[in-house]
Amino acid sequence: MIEKCQLAASEISALEVLNNSTISEAVTQMGSLKVTRMIVTDQSGMIIYDTQPDRIGTYGLFPEIVVAMRDRGNDVFSWWYHYRDGAMQSHAATPLLSYGNLIGCVYIMEHDTTQGAMIESLQRTVLQVTLILELAVILFSFTFSKTFSRRLQQIMTSMRIIRDGDYTHKVNMGGHDELTFLGDEFNDLTERLNTSEQKRQRFISDASHELKTPLASIKLLTDSILQNDMDLVTIREFVGDIGDEAERLNRITSKMLSLTKADIDIAADSEIIYMGPTLERVARMVSSLAQQSNIDIALNLEQDSPVLILEDDLYQIAFNLAENGIKYNVPNGKLSISLRRTDDNAILQITDTGVGIPEDAIGHIFERFFRVDKARSRASGGSGLGLAIVRAIVLRNRGDISVESVVGQGTTFTVSFPVFDTEVDPE
């Protein structure tokens, strides 16, 4: 289009005189330019040639002509699309120059219905594709939100089931997205709830069983006193027994309390201490009990090292183990309390020469209310809670506990804690 305009401009600017007839002649010589309209103006914008002759003599100040004449030498091209008749209209203007002077302007216009139709069909296709895409987006969002809310609903239902007490319930989300992750976390949580619920129930049933025994004894003893004619001595004996049972109830409940406390985090109150002095104190405290059965206590605290621990906890651990070592010992037996260290650990060992623990019982020894010989344990005031408490306290102080035993020979409890070596100042 712009080439056509330039061709016409170069032919016309070569004319000596610019008027309607000279330009008409030049246009005829150029042959068919196949344009809808062609206009030539003088330098003032007045039309001197027009394919629509009625406009000659008027000013043809079309935007393209104005710009082409203003910017001298610059060709101007523009097009727009007529929506109403589906045609594309393009315009081009080229200034006419003679020895560098502006003498007029050539303007041509094309009205192309073929290209217009093409653009129109392209537009229609784009519109159709856009509509289809929009529809797909709406459909996709709808399906997605439907699936999303269904899966969310699934989690909510599971929550309600758990809230109603069914801790075995599991949610099955499927897929590989955040909701699946949420479902896994949820299952993990309910699993833990289930475990702690089972522990709680076992504790309650164990505890009530343990409490029932002394209560039943008390009931029996009181019934006997009330129903039988007894002399004062027997009555006193029975009342003494009731007192013993009440004492046992007291011991069980206070041990249950300390077991609950053993679960509380104590990290903040821990301090770095040497274990020796505490173990000496424990040995002193159990010595009178040991004397009753003529048991010899040996202390070997040579390899003492600093550990991060709560002093009261260490006392309770050592006291319980030493007390058991005496309770389950044989007359004239031995109890040894020793300390040594490996590279990283301080090792406390409490060994006795007592009855020992049978192999099938050793795996249960740290369980609450577990007793190998119920009669013997009860006779010595045991509740089966001591070792469970010891283990809980050892663990909360970052330690470890193990047991080795040979029936008829004796038992060794080994407790280890990480050593906390403090920097030694060279001065």
Which positions touch ligand ADP (CB under 6 A)? 324-325, 328, 352, 354-357, 365, 370-373, 377, 382-388, 411
Residue whose CB is less far from ligand ADP, 93 or 357: 357
Residue whose CB is less far from ligand ADP, 7 or 362: 362
Phi, psi of 252 (to 5 degrees): -60, -45
The candidate with the shortest Cα–Cα distance to 324, out of 389, 261, 272, 276, is 389
H or E element at residue 257: helix 232-261
Phi, psi of 424 (to 5 degrees): -95, 125
Residue whose CB is less far from ligand ADP, 385 or 392: 385
In 3-state terms, what secondary structure has residue 182? helix
Residue whose CB is less far from ligand ADP, 386 or 399: 386
Residue 240 Cβ vs ligand ADP, minimum distance, rounded to whole Å: 22
In 3-state terms, what secondary structure has residue 153? helix
Eight-class DSSP state of 154: H
Residue 369 Cβ vs ligand ADP, minimum distance, rounded to whole Å: 8
- Could you give the angle at which helices 232-261 and 386-396 cross, rounded to 10 degrees? 20
Q: Which ranges constitute the DSSP H helices of 265-385? A: 276-292, 311-327, 359-362, 374-379
Matching residue, tokens 């075995």: 168
Residue whose CB is less far from ligand ADP, 36 or 258: 258
Residue 194 Cβ vs ligand ADP, minimum distance, rounded to whole Å: 26
Residue 324 Cβ vs ligand ADP, minimum distance, rounded to whole Å: 3
Residue 385 Cβ vs ligand ADP, minimum distance, rounded to whole Å: 6
Residue whose CB is less far from ligand ADP, 93 or 403: 403
Neighbours of 389 (CB within 10 A): 22
In 3-state terms, what secondary structure has residue 147? helix
DSSP 14-77: T-SS-SHHHHHHHHHHH-----SEEEEEETTSBEEEESSGGGTTSB---HHHHHHHHTSS--EE
Residue whose CB is less far from ligand ADP, 76 or 322: 322
Residue 301 Cβ vs ligand ADP, minimum distance, rounded to whole Å: 20
Residue whose CB is less far from ligand ADP, 76 or 372: 372
Residue whose CB is less far from ligand ADP, 272 or 395: 395
Q: Within 13 A of 46's CA, how many CA atoms are on the CB side?
A: 7
Phi, psi of 336 (to 5 degrees): -120, 135
Residue 205 Cβ vs ligand ADP, minimum distance, rounded to whole Å: 18
Residue 148 Cβ vs ligand ADP, minimum distance, rounded to whole Å: 53
End-to-end Cα distance, the chain: 99
Q: Which residues touch 273 (CB under 8 Å, ≥6 apart)?
A: 306, 307, 309, 311, 314
Residue 320 Cβ vs ligand ADP, minimum distance, rounded to whole Å: 6
